[in-house]
Amino acid sequence: MTTYVLLVNWTDQGIRNVTDSPKRFDAGRKALRDMGGDIKFMFMTMGEYDMVVVYEAPDDAIAARFTLMLGQAGNVRTKTLKAFPEQAYREIINSVR
């Protein structure tokens, strides 16, 4: 599985209905699980982003489908970062000549 970091901001619609956010998050978690992925961590944050989510998905296409599904609902805007675990990081760095 590939790991992704999702940076999330509420839209105007999302913040107007912020009390529904936990239900929307649970629905997103279920949708990702149905696609074969899993949310590993979620943090509500203060600063540039409202939430940070770390999740795993079988491939980039599933990750793209998941983030498009989130955006389509209109409550959040996202930025996705593909994350490399330490071992992959070391292999990548060691391959640089």
Give the right CATH number for 2-94 from 3.40.50.10600, 3.90.1150.10, 3.30.70.60, 3.40.50.620.
3.30.70.60
Confidence at 2, pLDDT banded by 50, 70, 90: very high
Q: In angstroms, how far is the first alpha carbon of the chain from the final one?
A: 28
**Contact in structure between 51 and 78 (CB atoms under 8 Å):** no
pLDDT of residue 28: 97
Residue pLDDT, tens place only, 28-78: 999 999 999 999 999 999 999 999 999 999 999 999 999 999 999 999 999
Contact 60, 2 (CB under 8 A): yes
Q: Where are the domains of the chain?
A: 2-94
pLDDT digits (tens, 9 = 90+) for 10-29: 999 999 999 999 999 999 99
Position 31 scores a pLDDT of: 98
pLDDT for 13: 97
* pLDDT of 97: 84
